[in-house]
Amino acid sequence: MSLTRYIVRRGIQSIITFFIILAVTFVIIRIRGNPLAFYIQNPRIPAEVVRDLIEEWGINEPLHIQFINYLLKIFQLDLGYSIHYRKPVIELIATYLPWSIWLLGMSVTISLVLSMIIGSYLATRYGSRLDRFMVFMGLTIRSFPVFWIGMIILYYFAYTLNLFPISPTTYLLTFPPQNILEWITTLFYISALPIISLAMVHFGGDLIIMRGAALSVSTDDYVVVAKAVGFSNSYILRKIIIRNSVLPMVTYASLNYALIMSGSVIIEAVFSYPGVGWLIYQAVLLSDYFLIQGAFLILSLVVIVFNFITDLIYMLLDPRVRLR
């Protein structure tokens, strides 16, 4: 199959998936009937705001008309209005999404790189004391609830040592960065702890998978041949084992984006980190339905896009996929 045909096919699959998620979200938001009923009772929300929303989203219309209306709205990038933040949802997402992508991207990258180096090294020292210890550590870290690791790191580094801000969202509001340099320092300053916490949790699982992948590669014939030919161990490790273990790692990563996203949502909640996870958490607590809907759609979309990109990378790394 040609490259473009493969890309197109995967693209269409992703779009269908997103459509179904759109429908699922539509249903979920309406399980309990009128999603705006909660607002109508709330005296803090001006009645005309609710009336406008009902009018605009056609909440009193029959369901199929509501659904068409909903799809049209979404495709015009109108995700509704957040009652709590008093802003259009799309605006909120535009400001919060980059933070989430940064958190996800950095933590996944750090964990993958570290586990690739350490995991393949462990495979060469298979069965040694170090190997056993690291497997034990990996399994242990993997058992820790993400938010608990986050809480401990927050407690120690932000509260006890005062090295990092205790609330990134508040910090960002009180000290808005003025120039590029300040932006970069602020970025690292407020995201360091969440990134470290998430990377730690990913590392536990990634290490075990990478070690397993490297182990099965290292018994393959071409590695035996390379050893027989007399290549040095470090050469075999760097040039053969790591490279061939990357594929299973990529598969593993692509199967896990949905789970990784879950971890990042909860870490954002622990640190009050200004990402979409924090938004959806606030929205759920405050029953801010349009924000729930918008944030949920965006989180799913991010997973779909990441999956798509991973598949493309996989295809570039492994030409056999294209032939299938």
Partner 1 sequence: MYRDLVASLRYSIEIIGSITVGRVGLILLTLFIMIGLLADLLAPYDPSQPVSEPYQPPSPLYIFGTDGLGRDIFSRSLYGIRTSIIIGVLTGLLTTMIGLMVGLISGYRGGLADNISTALIDIMLTIPPLPLIMVLVAILDRSFTTVILVIALTSWPQVARLVRSMVLSIREYQYVEAARALGAGSSRIMFRHILPAVIPLAISQLIVSISYAIVIEAGLAFLGLRNPLELSLGILLNEAQTGVGTGSAFVAGAWWWILFPGMLISMIVMSFVFIGYAVDVAINPRLKRY
Q: Is the dihedral of CA 109, 110, 115, 118 positive or negative?
A: positive
Looking at 147, 164, 203, 278, which residue binds partner 1 (CB under 8 A)?
147
What is the nearest approach in angstroms of partner 1 to the Cβ of residue 38? 10
What is the 8-class DSSP label of residue 164?
S
What is the nearest approach in angstroms of partner 1 to the Cβ of residue 142? 6
Binding characters for partner 1, 165-184, by CB under 8 A (x = yes): -x------------------
Instruction: Yes or no: say if 172 and 186 are a contact pair by the CB < 8 Å rule.
Output: yes
Q: Tell which positions 213-272 bind partner 1, by CB under 8 A.
A: 216, 255, 257-259, 261-263, 265-266, 269-270
Looking at 92, 97, 116, 154, which residue binds partner 1 (CB under 8 A)?
154
What is the nearest approach in angstroms of partner 1 to the Cβ of residue 19? 10
Helix/strand/coil (H, E, C) string of 100-147?
A: HHHHHHHHHHHHHHHHHHHHHHHHHCCCCHHHHHHHHHHHHHHHCCHH
**Closest C-alpha to 162, from 172, 171, 175, 173:** 171
Looking at 60, 109, 140, 233, which residue binds partner 1 (CB under 8 A)?
140
The reply to whether 116 sits near partner 1 by the rule CB under 8 A is no
Region of 54-62, 242-250, 288-296, 311-319 interacting with partner 1 (CB under 8 A): 288-296
Instruction: Yes or no: say if 94 and 183 are a contact pair by the CB < 8 Å rule.
Output: no
Region of 62-70, 72-80, 232-240, 282-290 interacting with partner 1 (CB under 8 A): 282-290
Q: Cβ atoms within 10 A of the Cβ of 291, count? A: 26
Count, residues near partner 1 per rule CB under 8 A: 56
* Rounded Cα distance, 4 and 237, in Å: 34
Q: Is the dihedral of CA 103, 106, 108, 110 positive or negative?
A: negative
Q: Cα separations (Å) of 130 from 118, 121, 123? A: 11, 10, 11
Q: Cα separations (Å) of 262 from 91, 256, 276? A: 23, 10, 11
The reply to whether 15 sits near partner 1 by the rule CB under 8 A is no
Region of 39-47, 106-114, 139-147, 228-236 interacting with partner 1 (CB under 8 A): 139-147
Looking at 88, 98, 177, 212, which residue binds partner 1 (CB under 8 A)?
212
Region of 17-25, 75-83, 87-95, 314-322 interacting with partner 1 (CB under 8 A): 17-25
Element (H, E) at 241: none
Two tokens at 58?
A: 């056609």
Q: Let me know how long the chain is.
A: 324
The reply to whether 107 sits near partner 1 by the rule CB under 8 A is no
Residues contributing to the site for partner 1 (CB under 8 A): 17, 20-21, 24, 28-29, 31-32, 126-127, 132, 136, 139-140, 142-148, 151-152, 154-155, 158-160, 166, 212, 216, 255, 257-259, 261-263, 265-266, 269-270, 277, 280-281, 284-285, 287, 292, 295-296, 299-300, 303-304, 307
